[in-house]
Amino acid sequence: MAWTTSRLRSSWRARTARTAARRSLRQLSATCACVSAGCARKSASSSAATCPRTCRTCTKLPPHASAPSPTTTSVKTELEEDDERARAENERLCWTTKSRRGRLGSKKDLADAGNVQRFVDAQQAVFAEEQAQMNAARKVKQALIEQRTAEKAEIERKKRDEFEAALVEHHGWTEEQVNAHSRRFGWRHQPPAQCPRAQPHVKPDAWRAYRDALQVVLDNDAAERRAAPGRALRIHFFRDKFNLIDGTDPRFKGIFPSFDRFRKLDPIKALWYPEDAQLDGSTWPTQEPLVLQVLEELADSTRVNAIRAILAANSGEALSTLSTDPADYPDDEYDDAFFQQITSHFVVGRWTLVPRGRRLRRTIVNTPTAFPTVLGHMWGTWYSNHGADPFASKLTPRYVSALRLILDAAELDEDATPSTLDNLGPTFSVARQGKTIATGKTWMQTVELLRKVGGTDKELGAGIDVSVTHEDAKGKEKGAVSDLEGEGEGESEDGADGSE
């Protein structure tokens, strides 16, 4: 804004100066005549030295002489001179008038911008030159490093070649043994023997033992390669027979192991793993009874371990005190009805999609599962040598004590199934020492809460300091369990597996 105002003021001044110059020219035209090389002014006090006009000569006219008439050329020349002076004055005022703010586009600004651009170009050139020098130095350094690495690797290779040649020539090693030593058996969990640190000529006995250990590994690898084709044929034949038994023999329904786990059992592995083993259609009639016997023993031991875990959780007895003889657990007493009782269900964690807000979250939900269905959720530990421990970790006395409190509150017996309790919905409340700490819980949530706030195992089993109530669909309280003493607080949940 300041620049525009100054520019308008300068233009007005220039027009005023031009108008004044023309007015002066008209006034002087009566007394001053332009000659070929100059002008003459009629004035009593004027002279050539004081003539205001810029002429080469100024001749004084006599007093009685009349003023010469101006010519077209003289007037045109004077007007051009006035315009030139006015233009010069206008430019001077435009480019030199100061203001509070610097005017955009002034000559000084343009000059400064040119200087800045030249400075930037110069700095960019310097930076590009320095960058090129750094890149060149980096390439030289990288080339030097690669050269030194290659030289070092070449030296190490020559040393290794000389060492391996010495093993073959002076210590009786074979090329295969040398290659095995060079591999260092990195693909194995651990080498067959510790390589001696001393040179072979310093400790020949240690190197001889190391060579023999390598040879054993090489022999085993060769035997595995020779036996692999025949072993694959035996496994394929055995798999077909195994699947046939699984689909036709009802004795192993629900407890039939997977083939990959079953074939690794020691009695079964002896049928197909050895290099000279015979397992085909001609030998199967004599080998099938052994397979069936192993399956029966596996089924019986699995059933006994599950029963022992159930009895230990319900009675509170130590697992080690219970018998492991299958004859002590007859089928008519420990039948399907025994395993279907709510207190005989094992609790396993299953991945389930649970709604949380607007999304479904994949989380582990503790689910009671009866035997033998639970075998599919125990990650294959049931057939191993752990005995009843895998089952005992899925059903604890503390869980059974909490479950019995819920059954008493709902006026149900132990013949109830998980679906019966599920149908009751979130109708359970828990109080500790006279104060309600949770309401509107499902039976499984109540079990998990009781395991946290129920005190010791004996206190929870006796129902001390904790109570459970159940309301039916009409909102009527049906039952309450245990004595109430004092006050407790807080709700927390935990998985049903294991004990505290």
pLDDT band at 430 (very low <50, low <70, confident <90, very high): confident
Quick one: pLDDT at residue 3?
46
Quick one: pLDDT at residue 68?
57
pLDDT digits (tens, 9 = 90+) for 339-381: 888 888 888 877 777 777 888 888 777 888 888 888 877 755 4
Residue type, 155: I
Mean pLDDT of the chain: 74
Quick one: pLDDT at residue 143?
93
Strand partners of residue 435: 432
pLDDT digits (tens, 9 = 90+) for 474-492: 555 555 444 433 333 333 3
* Strand ranges of the sheet holding 435-441, from the earlier edge strand across to the other edge: 435-441, 428-432, 466-471, 477-480
Quick one: pLDDT at residue 55?
45
Backbone dihedral angles phi then psi of residue 78, each to the nearest 5 degrees: -65, -40
Strand 477-480 relative to strand 435-441, pairing: unpaired
In which residue are the tokens 């080690």 written?
A: 320
pLDDT digits (tens, 9 = 90+) for 7-65: 555 666 667 767 776 666 666 554 444 443 344 444 444 444 444 444 444 444 555 55
User: pLDDT at residue 213 above 70?
Assistant: yes
Distance between CA atoms of 187 and 191, rounded to whole angstroms? Answer: 9
* % the chain with pLDDT above 70: 69
Q: Which long-range contacts (CB under 8 A, 24 or more apart) does 27-35 make?
A: 28/53, 29/67, 29/70, 30/67, 31/67, 32/67, 33/61, 33/67, 33/68, 33/69, 33/70, 34/68, 34/70, 34/71, 34/74, 35/59, 35/68
Strand partners of residue 347: 368
pLDDT digits (tens, 9 = 90+) for 99-141: 545 455 555 666 667 777 888 888 899 999 999 999 999 999 9
Strand partners of residue 39: 34, 58
| Residue 69: DSSP 8-state | P
DSSP letters spanning 385-449: TTTTHHHHTTS-HHHHHHHHHHHHHTT--TT--HHHHHHH-S-EEEEETTEEEEEEE-HHHHHHH
Distance between CA atoms of 75 and 34, rounded to whole angstroms? Answer: 9
Quick one: pLDDT at residue 56?
42
pTM of the model: 0.54
Quick one: pLDDT at residue 111?
66
pLDDT digits (tens, 9 = 90+) for 164-194: 888 888 888 888 888 877 765 544 545 566 7
Nearest partner of 391 among 403, 402, 378, 380, judged by Cα:
378
Q: Cβ(166)–Cβ(173) under 8 Å? A: no
Quick one: pLDDT at residue 14?
67
Strand partners of residue 47: none
Distance between CA atoms of 167 and 174, rounded to whole angstroms? Answer: 8
The more confident residue out of 443 and 475 is 443
Over residues 59-87, the mean pLDDT reads 66
Angle between helical axes of 397-409 and 443-453 (0-180°, round to 10): 120
* % the chain with pLDDT above 90: 9
Distance between CA atoms of 4 and 122, rounded to whole angstroms? Answer: 35
Distance between CA atoms of 390 and 306, rounded to whole angstroms? Answer: 9
Quick one: pLDDT at residue 139?
94
Please, is 35 exposed, middle or buried when counting C-beta atoms within 10 Å of its C-beta (0-12, 13-18, 19+)? Answer: middle
Residue type, 93: L
pLDDT band at 208 (very low <50, low <70, confident <90, very high): confident
SS (H, E, C) 270-339: HHHCCCCCCCCCCCHHHHHHHHHHHHHHHHHHHHHHHHHHHHHHHHCCCHHHCCCCHHHCCCCCCCHHHH
Quick one: pLDDT at residue 129?
92
The more confident residue out of 179 and 494 is 179
pLDDT digits (tens, 9 = 90+) for 254-285: 777 778 888 888 888 999 988 888 888 889 99
pLDDT band at 66 (very low <50, low <70, confident <90, very high): low
In which residue are the tokens 């130095």 written?
A: 137
Segment among 67-76, 140-149, 340-349 with least mean pLDDT: 67-76
| Residues 6 or more apart whose Cβ sits within 8 Å of residue 137 | none
Over residues 78-84, the mean pLDDT reads 79
- Rounded to the nearest 10°, the torsion over CA 199, 200, 201, 205 is 130
Quick one: pLDDT at residue 190?
56
In which residue are the tokens 């005995």 written?
A: 387
Residue type, 79: L
In which residue are the tokens 């109708």 written?
A: 427
